[in-house]
Amino acid sequence: PLAVIPTHYFESVRQTMEGPLTVTRCRVGVCEEGSDTARSVCVIDFLVSQHPVAQILRDHVIFKIVPMLNPDGVYLGNYRCSLMGFDLNRHWQDPSPWAHPTLHAVKQLIVQMNQDPRVSLEFYIDVHAHSTMLNGFMYGNVFEDEERVQRQAVFPRLLCQNAPDFSFSNTSFNRDMVKAGTGRRFLGGLLDDTSYCYTLEVSFYSYMAAGSTAPVPYTEETCALMEPDGRKFSFS
């Protein structure tokens, strides 16, 4: 069935929001099971746990997590396109409520939250799985303000320090025209300079730890970036 978010959901969300906000969006393609399971499930499990860091985060930050943006395409087994054949991560600039209903709903929610004076939308993280590169790494945006560029590099550096499978050397910052329709690029231009927008990529298959000569396959037991309780990502 086509997934549609009812309009009354947005009003209930707005009534419960006040403070710093992080939005995370996962899984456009059926092949991105690692980004869906490892990222959203592990971090959600951690955030609702009794761990003292999780309790502090819940007290100070609002998390909005979309575990799967493309449920119909994933159900059908599409590699990266939706039920109607669209790559949802290329239509952020002008999504259609008819052709891209889930993307339209998520974008509408983010825009409304950004316009709410009670909310400080500080992070947007778009999570994918990568078919050719090893490790976890990030894509960020390029800005004219050098100080903003340096601030944007802090979070990937923290991830690199906390997670042995995250590679800062593979992380890059760009403004490729071919990526203009992605969530990272569109929201990087929409939100103000206190917001940080990233794409987090996690390898399909394995990572290479520092000083190692053999890749470590990604399994539930070896996923260091997304530990079973999500601590590595959340501690950063």
Active-site annotation, residues: 201
Radius of gyration of the chain (CA): 17
Phi, psi torsion values for 94, nearest 5 degrees: -150, 65
Q: Greatest CA span in the chain, whole angstroms?
A: 53
DSSP 153-207: THHHHHHHHH-TTB-STT-EEE--GGGTTSHHHHHHHHS-TT-EEEEEEEESSEE
Contacts of 39 (CB under 8 A, 6+ apart): 24, 26, 127, 200, 202, 226, 233
Nearest to 233 by CA among 69, 68, 41: 41
Q: Which DSSP symbol is given to 222?
A: T
* Integer CA distances (angstroms), 103 to 81, 93, 234, in order: 12, 10, 25
What does the block give as tokens for 130? 């990568």
Side-chain-side CA neighbours of residue 231 (13 Å): 11
Single-letter amino acid, residue 166: F
DSSP 23-49: EEEE--STT-HHIIIIIIIHHHHHHTS
